[in-house]
Structure formats: C-alpha cells, structure tokens
A and B are shown apart, each in its own frame.
Chain A
C-alpha cells in the first residue's frame, strides 16, 4: 500500500545515463527527503544518504499503461494513451450510467485506489482541457460544455498546454505565465499595443507546425476550435489454445497427439476470426517448471492443421521431456487475415500436389530460412551488388535498373584470381590459367568498364574492366582486370574470373 512497508522509505527509480544514474521517478517519502525526478542520483544521495534505488522500466510502464487504458474503457466507449502517465477516456453520453459526472469521477478514484494507484481526474469538453485540469487544476474538477472555458481555465499555468520545454522557456521570457495571458493576446486586441503583441506572437510561432511546439495551436485545441485527433487503444486478443494434461507426458507419440489436437483447436479459433497464422509458438511446461518454447514462421498465412502439425513435428525431435510435460500451449503471435475457403484441401493436395506456400514452408523448415531465397535486381552497377536475395514469396518493389546485356548465367561467390597472358597490359587477354588449367582466349569482347561506387567505398578501390571471352573449346567466361596500369592505386592490375556464361 502507498506510504507503508517498503514504500515508507525514500525510494527512487533510476535510469543509467552517460553521466551516471539519473532519477526517473520518486515516491512520496523520497520527495519529502528532497529528491526530485531528473536529479542525478549522486546529488540525491548527498541530500538523503538513506535513499533506496531500483532500476526504472519505461517499456514495462508503457505496457502497463496500455493495459490500464484498455481497462479504463469501463467508463467510456474508447480510450487513448497519454504517455508517460495518462489515459484519456471519452465519456460523452456515458456519465449518466454512473449517476452523473461527479459520481463517475468518484468511481474512477475508488477503482484506482483499490488497485493501489494514485490518480488525478477531471472531466472537460476537450481532451486538452481535461488534461490541463487534471495536471494543474483542482482535484476532481468538472467543466461542462456550458461553462465559459476561457474564464474557467484562465488561471492555469501555460504548462497546462502540453508544450515542449523550450517553448515554455520562450513563453516565460515573454512574460506569458497563465493561460489567461495568452488567451487575452490572441483574442482580445483592445488597443494597438495588444494587436502588435498578437502579431508578434503569430510571427514567432508561424513556422511551428507541430502542436506541442506551438502554443497557439494548443490553445485552440484546448478551447475546441480545432480538432485534435486521438489514437484509440484497441485490445487485440492473441489466438491461444492450450491443454492441461491429467498425466504428465513423457512419450513423443502422445505429444504428437496433443499437438494435433491443439492444431485442430487453433484452426477453429483462427477460422472464427477469419485469420491465418504467420508465426506460431508452442510452449511446453514441464513438471519441474521448465518451459520449452518452439517457434515457427510460415511463408503465408495458414490455418491448415495437418500442415502446422507436420512442421512442428520436425522441431520436436530434440525435446527433453524430463519428468513429463503437463501443459502444452499453442499461440499465434502473428496472424494475418485469411478468407475462408472451400474445405477438403488436404485430399486435393494429395492428388494435385502441394501449393507453393506449403512447399516453401517445408523447405525452409528443413533447410533453414536462409536456404530458400529469390534473386531480385538491386540498383547498383557492381555485378555482385546488382542482385540481392529476398524471401521467396515476398514481393519485391520495383527497382530502376538499366537493361544490362550479356551478363553471365552464373556468378561465383568470390571472384577467383587468374593468371593472364596479354600482349599489352591494357590490351585483350590472350591466355589464362584458372583452377590449374590453361584456356586459350579465342574471342573476346570488351572492355566494359565498371567504376567503383565512390559514395560507398574508399578512394583507393580500383575500377574493373570486364571482358566476355570464349576459349578454344567454346566455354564462355566473364573476367575482369582489377584496375589499370598507372592509376596510382596499386601495382600491376590483377585479373579475376567472376562469372560463367551459359
């Protein structure tokens, strides 16, 4: 409970920064002891040596806030996050269900207090006004649509506009401390000097398009003159099926049976949602508390139970059941929409062969995901960079490549060095030795000069002169001379064989 037990001691949450630990949040006892959020821990320790520390967890806080926002939909049809520590709920036409707005706020405070949270609440016609009142207004303040918002909010500080720190500094230097000051200038204009002040303010923030950097936009949002779109939180349930077993499983055949049942359940679950699984996770809880997780990624969304079972069976071979497995859980942590289709697919597959997606799934499960790929053109002049490898069913976005002629059918992974005999260093190759055998060059075309990509590599990388050649037997190769004589980037150029033409 707040203020009791461990919370009675001054405690701070810290984040590690480049300059040492910095305080992220402080409890009430810590505040009384003199610590503040944003302070260095060392400074806080001098004020209060007995301070307790714990690491902060911003990602965990955000996840908690998301859950809280979903839970807060009990007071209104939709809610939005207000990181780091706020939730906005739309209670339009919902307050009467709780017996009026006052009682609604009382209900909110009671519900949060029961869960050990401290909360500040308010209700206002706009999200901005509600935020301002909750952070800087009196507790449980309620502003109805009939009230004059300008007057009701005039006494709040300009920080209630949800502005960036640097904008607040500017406003403070201009002497604009309360919302009333700002509102008077932007609307009032009773004499020349106020008109000039208004123009100056407009000019000052003319180029600030982001609401949090422009107090005028924020003020309009606060007063409801311009819309402020909010992103609602929509809960997503992950499809999950599980079996708690009476007897712990110790044998593979039983596990296969349970897996098949789970796959059937998962198929039904996915069918109901009109989705197919892209990633499946199988968790096996052992009696001794150990959890074994097997993960499966699929090339295309599927809800074919036999297919899922077969793919998982490959992954279950090296499972150590220990004293037995008591719970098996299958969840689809990534699902994509998949329309319902005609049944009896498995029998059709038996007769007509598998589909391409199923074939690729089987291949990538056995051979590894990187073994099955598709070559796609890549925008580059360098031959080895002009091709990149993509997952097989993923569409590649179109790349602008100029049509290249007469490229070899196959490219070696590494260009292989060859010893070349030539009449002159810049001339055509006449004979070369590759992998211990000599080839006479009978026909040659070139050079095709390909310069290094100077925007990527060092200035000392040499250019390449490519030649298409055919030897006395008719074998066709693609070789290049790495550099030219006297380019100042090394000695005599080396020759390499890079491609084999059909």
Chain B
C-alpha cells in the first residue's frame, strides 16, 4: 500500500474537514437552533419537526440488547398566543407518525411565559426535544434570554428548535440559525397534479462550526435528504428526464480523484 492511496474513511474525513458543511444526519448537532419563517405557511414548524426527527434519529441509541425498542419520550411544543393566532395549533392527524402520541402542547399568553415554558422544558430530563414558536421580536426575547436557553439546553442535553415567526434576525446565541421558505415539492408518482412530500428552502445563515449554505430539504421515507441549492436548477428538474440524450452523468463538482489528489 503506498502512502498515496487513501481509504474511504480518510477521504470522508478530509472532505468533511475541508468543507465543514452541514449535512443531514450529523451526530453532534447543536442543541439550540432558530428557524426564521413567515406566518403565511407552516414551513417553519415543518422544518423544525424535520430537523428534530433527523437529530433524534442520528442520536438514537445503537441497536443492542439493552436498547429501548421505541423512543417514548414526550415532545414539548410551546406556542405564544400570537403564534397560535397567526399560524394555528398543531393538528394530531397531520403530525409525523412517531410524534402523534408524544406531543405535549403549551399555549402561553405572553412571550415571557413562553420563554419560561421553553426553559422548564429544557430542564426536564424526560423530554425528547422542545419546539417553540414565538411571533415577532418581543422585548423579553433578547440576547440574555436566548443565552439562558442555550445554557439550559447544553446543561441538560435537550435540543431546542425555536421557530421565529415574522421576526428580524437580531442578536441571539442560537448555535444554528436557519431561514425557511416553502419549496415546490416533487410531484407524487401517481398523481402529478397533487402536492407532494413537503420540501423547504432552508438557508443556514449563521452557525457555529458550519459554513453557511442553502439547501432544499425534504423529509421522506424516514430520512432527511438535502440537495444543495447550487445543484438545484430553478426550474422543476423532474419535469424532464434528468440528462436528456446522455447516458452518463456529467462530472460536475468534486470527484473522488480530485479529493485524493489534493
């Protein structure tokens, strides 16, 4: 074996170190994320649930005789009154299958009550994760408040996804900050005129340890999949077969050879 040949793991490690880019299924997900979304659609909550499922999937205990068959911990969903008024409440039949019987919903009248509920949830060891929805930029949600949430989340190891509805991205200590928009979904196989599996345009505009980026995310068949926004043409790529007239995929972007050479 010469020194120039690299194993597959080493290549992966190099490529990760070089890019530091976020991708689904990372094991060391940060515990406090913010998602900025509009109140006119449910993309914020949808993306938060998708990221939460991805993170819970990635950090699940490995298979073994002592592993729990099923994660039965509850999920706390906190909304303040304005968020309820603007975007409605979670609907049990529309929730992901695994969260349907595990959701505890908290409706707080004021943003400070919502922050209290979020912090209490983060301190609770029996919860799987906490999802919050707070509308606008309330005065109480300042840097100190978000720092409190980060510290509580990191002390007790419970992850928080805070959906900020119709809010400006002001000071915050969230480890990852996303901006979510709905994306045109892929048409279902059997009825091309129907809306398909939900997709979101997610822009990671600030993160500790990850480079910013933009992806189109979908949660389908039990896993979160991402397409980098640069790879995605603006038009509907699935309207036509992917590579008309050519049998071989064109070599776009990085190839393994390029990585090994570097």
The answer to whether residues A499 and B88 also contact, given A371-B108, A473-B181 and a CB cut-off of 8 A, is yes
* B126-A355 in contact (CB<8A): yes
In the complex, chain A residues whose CB is within 8 Å of the CB of B74: 356, 392
The answer to whether residues A363 and B106 also contact, given A410-B87, A410-B88, A501-B42 and a CB cut-off of 8 A, is yes
* B195-A360 in contact (CB<8A): no
Does B30 sit at the interface, judged by CB under 8 A? no
* B121-A474 in contact (CB<8A): no
In the complex, chain B residues whose CB is within 8 Å of the CB of A178: none
Give residues 32-86 of B contacting A (CB, 8 Å).
40-43, 45-46, 49-50, 74, 84-85
Does B226 sit at the interface, judged by CB under 8 A? no
In the complex, chain B residues whose CB is within 8 Å of the CB of A387: 91-93
Per DSSP, chain B at the interface is mixed
Max count, chain A CB within 10 A of own CB: residue among B89, B94, B158:
B94
In the complex, chain A residues whose CB is within 8 Å of the CB of B46: 409, 501-502
Does B213 sit at the interface, judged by CB under 8 A? no
* B42-A502 in contact (CB<8A): yes
Does A386 sit at the interface, judged by CB under 8 A? yes
In the complex, chain A residues whose CB is within 8 Å of the CB of B95: 409
Does B198 sit at the interface, judged by CB under 8 A? yes
In the complex, chain B residues whose CB is within 8 Å of the CB of A363: 106, 117, 120
Does B22 sit at the interface, judged by CB under 8 A? no
In the complex, chain A residues whose CB is within 8 Å of the CB of B90: 375, 409-411
**How many A-B contacts are there with CB distance less than 8 Å?**
171
* A411-B125 in contact (CB<8A): no
The smallest C-beta distance from A221 to any residue of chain B, in angstroms, reads 50
Does B140 sit at the interface, judged by CB under 8 A? no
- Kindly state the separation between the CA atoms of A404 and B198 in the bound complex, as whole angstroms: 17
Does A19 sit at the interface, judged by CB under 8 A? no
Q: How large is the interface on B (under 10, 10 to 19, 20 to 34, 35 or more residues)?
A: 35 or more
Given A355, A373, A443, which contacts B194 in the complex, CB threshold below 8 Å? A443
* A475-B91 in contact (CB<8A): no
Give residues 425-463 of A contacting B (CB, 8 Å).
434-435, 437, 442-445
* B185-A413 in contact (CB<8A): no
In the complex, chain A residues whose CB is within 8 Å of the CB of B100: 377
- Kindly state the separation between the CA atoms of A499 and B88 in the bound complex, as whole angstroms: 8
* A470-B184 in contact (CB<8A): yes
In the complex, chain A residues whose CB is within 8 Å of the CB of B87: 410, 412, 500
- Kindly state the separation between the CA atoms of A387 and B49 in the bound complex, as whole angstroms: 20
In the complex, chain A residues whose CB is within 8 Å of the CB of B203: none
In the complex, chain B residues whose CB is within 8 Å of the CB of A375: 89-92, 103, 105
* B184-A356 in contact (CB<8A): no
In the complex, chain A residues whose CB is within 8 Å of the CB of B43: 475, 502
The smallest C-beta distance from B173 to any residue of chain A, in angstroms, reads 20
> Which B residue sits closest to A408, measured CB to CB?
B94
> Which B residue sits closest to A442, measured CB to CB?
B184
The smallest C-beta distance from A402 to any residue of chain B, in angstroms, reads 11
Given B50, B84, B123, B184, which contacts A359 in the complex, CB threshold below 8 Å? B123
* A443-B195 in contact (CB<8A): yes
* B195-A473 in contact (CB<8A): no
The smallest C-beta distance from B70 to any residue of chain A, in angstroms, reads 17
In the complex, chain B residues whose CB is within 8 Å of the CB of A254: none
- Kindly state the separation between the CA atoms of A474 and B196 in the bound complex, as whole angstroms: 10
- Kindly state the separation between the CA atoms of A278 and B100 in the bound complex, as whole angstroms: 27
Given A371, A445, A473, A500, which contacts B88 in the complex, CB threshold below 8 Å? A500
0/1 interface trace, chain A 37-73, chain B, CB 8 Å (1 if under): 0000000000000000000000000000000000000
0/1 interface trace, chain A 356-387, chain B, CB 8 Å (1 if under): 10111011001100011111110000010011
Does A354 sit at the interface, judged by CB under 8 A? yes
* B105-A374 in contact (CB<8A): yes
* A468-B42 in contact (CB<8A): no
Assuming A367-B106, A383-B93, what are 10 further A-B pairs, CB within 8 angstroms?
A356-B126, A367-B109, A372-B104, A373-B107, A375-B91, A377-B92, A408-B42, A409-B49, A409-B95, A474-B185
- In the complex, the 9 A-B pairs of residues with the closest C-beta atoms, listed nearest first: A502-B46, A353-B125, A445-B194, A356-B126, A500-B42, A359-B124, A475-B41, A470-B195, A407-B94
Residues of B within 8 A of A (CB): 40-43, 45-46, 49-50, 74, 84-85, 87-95, 100, 103-109, 113, 116-117, 120-121, 123-127, 156, 158, 181-185, 187, 191, 193-196, 198-199, 201
23 contacts between A and B (CB under 8 A): A354-B124, A359-B121, A359-B126, A371-B108, A376-B92, A377-B92, A383-B91, A409-B42, A409-B95, A411-B90, A444-B193, A468-B195, A469-B195, A474-B182, A474-B185, A475-B182, A476-B195, A477-B41, A501-B42, A502-B42, A502-B43, A502-B49, A502-B198
